[in-house]
Structure 1
Amino acid sequence: MQRTMAKRPLPPADHHAARFARQREADRTATAEDYVELIADLLREEGEARAVDLARRMGVSQATVTATVGRLQRDGLVETKPYRGLFLTPSGQEMARTAKARHELVVRFLIAVGLDPETAETDAEGLEHHASEKALAAFARFLAEREDGGR
């Protein structure tokens, strides 16, 4: 099922630069979104979110978690309480809700177009941060039309 792509001219330099800038910004926010989403999940499922749990679940060192949590604190997304672990600020809670909804939408879309659930979960981890609001809206429309058409 190989198709040859039509040759398209390069976009104007400023448009091209804007695309790359958007992707670099998505890369920067992806870590924060992943951390707050996991903290919210741990708080919901286990009643607490500890740095050691984040390190284990994200497959990174505790030093990496400590540095990232420090940045999240400076950004006003996470609070730490002595002997009590990590908590989300209202801004962190909102970011976690938004990230979770986006993740679930991308997973549902990928499954709807034929991907198995395990691969959809894995692929959504990257796609959810890089899909534009337009793309996410298109995914939602596709799913809504599909669900409406099935009734």
Structure 2
Amino acid sequence: MRRNAVLKPLPSEDDQAARFVRQREADRTAVAEDYVELIADLLRAEGEARAVDLARRMGVSQATVANTITRLQRDGLVETRPYRGLFLTEAGAELATRAKARHELVVRFLIAVGLDAETAEADAEGLEHHASEKALAAFARFLDAHNGKRR
């Protein structure tokens, strides 16, 4: 640490606890958002979404996918049909749409501040779940202002 660095005081216990609670909630919802977003992408691109495809694309075992799909079914986000793969419920499709829009916003923001597209895509996978609505709104305002200057 630099000698002249000004140490910020710790936030209040309640404020700090609220931040950690928000982050833990983001961690829990990130998996559901990633799954429904990928299922929507597969349905759109390939006409079907199968557990084996999710496992390959997410780099996890088929057992992990099966457990997660069971939870997503319980939460009313995903349906399975015998011999037909995975489908999103209305709630799952809405969550996928919101997650996709957030992901695309974060990618566009990262590219606008100078990151290459490949790194922006990779970094957005984590940032999209943890950025607050205030941060996302600020990203959108920045992009609007940035795009206005380029015209």
TM-score range, shorter chain: over 0.9
* TM-score (structure 2 length as normaliser): 0.96
Return the offset for 1:8.
Answer: 0.7
Provide the rounded CA distance (Å) in 2 between the counterparts of 1:6 and 1:149: 36
Provide the rounded CA distance (Å) in 1 between the counterparts of 2:47 and 2:14: 48
**1:47 has 2:47 as partner:** yes
- 1:89–1:110 CA distance, 2 compared to 1 (3 A): same
Query: Match of 1:110?
Result: 110
Paired residue secondary structure (2:11):
coil
Provide the rounded CA distance (Å) in 1 between the counterparts of 2:5 and 2:93: 42
Instruction: State the superposition RMSD in angstroms.
Output: 1.2
Query: Match of 1:71?
Result: 71
* TM-score (structure 1 length as normaliser): 0.96
Unaligned runs of 5+ in 2: none
Query: Match of 1:24?
Result: 24
- 1:74–1:11 CA distance, 2 compared to 1 (3 A): same
Q: What amino acid maps onto 1:106 in structure 2? A: V
Bigger mean CA offset, 4-13 vs 52-61: 4-13
Paired residue secondary structure (1:79):
strand
Query: Match of 1:84?
Result: 84
CA-to-partner distance for each residue in 1:72-108, whole Å, 9 max, x for gaps? 0000000000000000000000000000000000000
CA-to-partner distance for each residue in 1:126-146, whole Å, 9 max, x for gaps? 000000000000000000001
Paired residue secondary structure (2:138):
helix
Identity score, percent: 78
Paired residue secondary structure (2:124):
helix
Return the offset for 1:5.
Answer: 5.8
- 1:58–1:150 CA distance, 2 compared to 1 (3 A): same
Unaligned runs of 5+ in 1: none
- 1:93–1:62 CA distance, 2 compared to 1 (3 A): same
Provide the rounded CA distance (Å) in 1 between the counterparts of 2:148 and 2:89: 37
Return the offset for 1:6.
Answer: 3.6
Return the offset for 1:150.
Answer: 1.4
Provide the rounded CA distance (Å) in 2 between the counterparts of 1:99 and 1:7: 37
Provide the rounded CA distance (Å) in 1 between the counterparts of 2:23 and 2:5: 23
